[in-house]
Structure 1
Amino acid sequence: MKKILLLLCLTTVMVSSAQSNPNDIFAAGINDAEQFLNDYLNPVSEGALYSISNGWYNTADAKPLLGFEISIIGNMTSFKNKEDKQSFILDTADYENLQFVETDGQGNRTTVKPVSTALGEIEGIRVFVEGEVAPGVTTREEFDLPSGLAAEGITFVPSAYLQVSMGLIKGTEVKVRFLPKIETEDVSVGLYGVGIQHELTKHLPADKVLPIAVSAVVGYTHLSGTYDFTNTNVVQGENQKVDTNMDTWAFQAVVSTKLPIINFYGGLGYMTGKSNTDILGTYRVQSGPFQSQTYTDPFSFKTEVSGVTANIGTKLKLGFFRLNVDYTIAEFNNLAVGVNFGFR
């Protein structure tokens, strides 16, 4: 099974269609498809929101007037130990048509079973829908529910972007981050954001001799992306894709040392984010009780997250070259690495 829908288009090289494609679920009818895809896609949206909200600072020491730094930042937001994000319980009593093929060996149909989200690794879950297509004529369609990223050995949600920081008036630094729009045959993705950092210790008389700096940081990030689904024998159509827009805000208090070469920093903050995901295109069911049904731009999903974050990191400064690494503890933990080039 190929990889499926990595964090709704945050990267391009790791995204491809699945042999058990999520759009097969349309064979179960529009209501069942909406319910399943909401539970299936929601955790990957949550992970992506946490991922893109990271990386706003690598020190609390704000740059002086016209001091600048250009950074390449990469995030690895882990879900390795988050079983609750890798699977959900599917109860067929909550669905109109979807049923498990599996029985308990005594002919009793399984009705409740954990299944994979887009982050998970559960494979081979066979389901079916059955119904009359004409008086006295019953048809049945079987297909596999989609698995997720963990089935491919991927246990993190990545993000990457460029970030530019520049010092302005005393103690204030502005930041801009962006990922130029990237388009491939199946994926389109772009990112931008803006932030501001203000060092509180710059206002203290002992600023020049204090061994630490304390700052407040606020950052906003927006990501937009699309991922084209692959047609299958069960559901065909045109322009089948996921279209996602994500927005996050990060509010953080940061403290760091002020040493010439190696420094340490840490922060405590709060993040909030939301995503809007549209399932677009035309979906024509080819077989089963809903054959000949056509759905166009069938539905949208919304995901909202918020929570406290805390991180700790270190930064190495060698002239104009700087390297930083930090780890954030939150609902989704994150490892960030920054390669930085700066002046002053």
Structure 2
Amino acid sequence: MKRIILLFALCSFSIGMAQSNLNDLLAAGLNDAERFTNDWMAPMTEAGIYSISNGWYNSADAKPLGGFEISIIGNITGFKNKDDKKTFTLNTADYENLQFVDASTSKEVATALGDIEGIDVAINATIEGQQVTTQFELPSGLSSEDLNFIPSGYIQASVGLIKGTEIKARFLPKINTDDVSVGLYGFGIQHDFTKHLPADKLLPVAISAVIGYTNLSGEYDFTSTGVVNGENQRIDAQFSSWNFSAVVSTRLPVINFYGGLNYITGKSDIDILGTYEVETTGAPIVYDDPFAISNKVSGVSANIGTKLKLGFFRINADYNIAEFSTFTFGVNFGFR
């Protein structure tokens, strides 16, 4: 199970960057590189925020004082049928130096989720007083590798307090590999309003409100020796989200059903860091930590799920319908 969580964690950050040769775009100058990178990354960061926002609850029935549950949670956020998120229109009139090799002025090109390949662009311009002449292929995305989802995973703990209140925390310790480092943390609170009713224990359902905050931080090293040389070329990213939920669930001994309405809001901040050297007919153009981009996401979602309790062992699964829909699966241990 630890290996599964490791895979989900690394994929949640690095999988969308794997096909990236974004450093080549700096040959077109800072403004063009920033504009393209923002359009290319935006759908992937949106899907990532929706992915990490899920999994905050598997019941509206808050735990009693001292009750706890430890969960291993995985999310699969799909985009197979999201054609509008896989491409964007690149109009050369919006760029200072970027041109298509075939002299087209406008084309649909891949985002980080897309599968359009073989789009070549050319640079033949004076940039910062130096003549730059080169051409390269625009990056494609996940669909070109037959991947139509973004996964995420983490460990979550919940503890019951008094008066129908339950606190939650999720985390993934910082994991480092040769190219990727990633970590996640979050905290939340759940309050069961039915606990205040005189006939609480006789009611067949529970109704709760849940608020959860998640932060994913990661770094991906994509140093290469393509069109743009350099060193320590990397992407540093921070994804954060808030999930505000109204939840209802049954209160049965073994198998239960739950559902919720959720409002999700989040932000991604991505810094392109390192040294980038653009070859010219004269001295190279050198950029250090060239630019940063950010995107905000918000939307409403609804989910429905089920939870099976077998003593201290429980499993749950739910499907969340949103701009990017997510399947969540949890393996839980605890008592109430």
Give the TM-score taking structure 2 as reference length.
0.93
Distance of aligned partners of 1:221 and 1:16 in 2 relative to their CA distance in 1, 3 Å threshold: closer
| 8 A Cα contact 2:164 2:191, kept in partner | yes
1:117 to 82, 107, 111: 111
Match of 1:183 in 2: 176
| 8 A Cα contact 2:9 2:154, kept in partner | no
CA offset digits 1:137-179 (Å, max 9, x no partner): 9763110000001111111111100000011102111100001
Q: Which amino acid aligns with 1:67?
A: G
Match of 1:309 in 2: 301
| 8 A Cα contact 1:73 1:336, kept in partner | yes
Q: Name the CA distance, whole Å, in 2 between partners of 1:285 and 1:226.
A: 23
Match of 2:122 in 1: 128
RMSD: 2.2
- 1:7 CA drift (Å): 11
User: What is the count of residue pairs matched by the alignment?
Assistant: 329
- 1:255 CA drift (Å): 0.2
Match of 2:4 in 1: none
Q: Which amino acid aligns with 1:121?
A: D
Distance of aligned partners of 1:13 and 1:139 in 2 relative to their CA distance in 1, 3 Å threshold: closer
Match of 2:201 in 1: 208
Match of 1:106 in 2: none
Q: Name the CA distance, whole Å, in 1 between partners of 2:157 and 2:9.
A: 25
| 8 A Cα contact 2:314 2:333, kept in partner | yes
Give the TM-score taking structure 1 as reference length.
0.91
Q: Name the CA distance, whole Å, in 1 between partners of 2:15 and 2:51.
A: 16
- 1:85 CA drift (Å): 1.3
Match of 2:327 in 1: 335
Q: Name the CA distance, whole Å, in 2 between partners of 1:230 and 1:114.
A: 27
Match of 2:288 in 1: 296
For 1:201-280, list aligned pairs within 5 A.
201-280=194-273
Q: Name the CA distance, whole Å, in 2 between partners of 1:41 and 1:282.
A: 21
Stretches of structure 1 that go unaligned for 5 or more consecutive residues are 1-5, 103-108
Q: Name the CA distance, whole Å, in 1 between partners of 2:271 and 2:11.
A: 16
| 8 A Cα contact 2:16 2:112, kept in partner | no
Identity %, equivalent residues: 63
Distance of aligned partners of 1:15 and 1:247 in 2 relative to their CA distance in 1, 3 Å threshold: closer
| 8 A Cα contact 1:8 1:244, kept in partner | no
- 1:41 CA drift (Å): 1.0
CA offset digits 1:8-64 (Å, max 9, x no partner): 96547847744x712111111111111111111111111111111100000001111
Distance of aligned partners of 1:13 and 1:88 in 2 relative to their CA distance in 1, 3 Å threshold: closer
1:42 to 2:42 alignment: yes
Distance of aligned partners of 1:146 and 1:291 in 2 relative to their CA distance in 1, 3 Å threshold: farther
CA offset digits 1:226-254 (Å, max 9, x no partner): 11113123111111111111211111010
Stretches of structure 2 that go unaligned for 5 or more consecutive residues are 1-6
Q: Which amino acid aligns with 2:75?
A: N
Give 1 or 2: higher helix fraction.
2
- 1:111 CA drift (Å): 0.8
CA offset digits 1:180-220 (Å, max 9, x no partner): 10011111100000000010001111111111010010111
CA offset digits 1:243-291 (Å, max 9, x no partner): 111211111010000111110000012111111111111110135x797
**What secondary structure does 2:66 align onto?**
coil
Q: Which amino acid aligns with 2:307?
A: K
For 1:15-54, list aligned pairs within 5 A.
17-18=18-19, 21-54=21-54
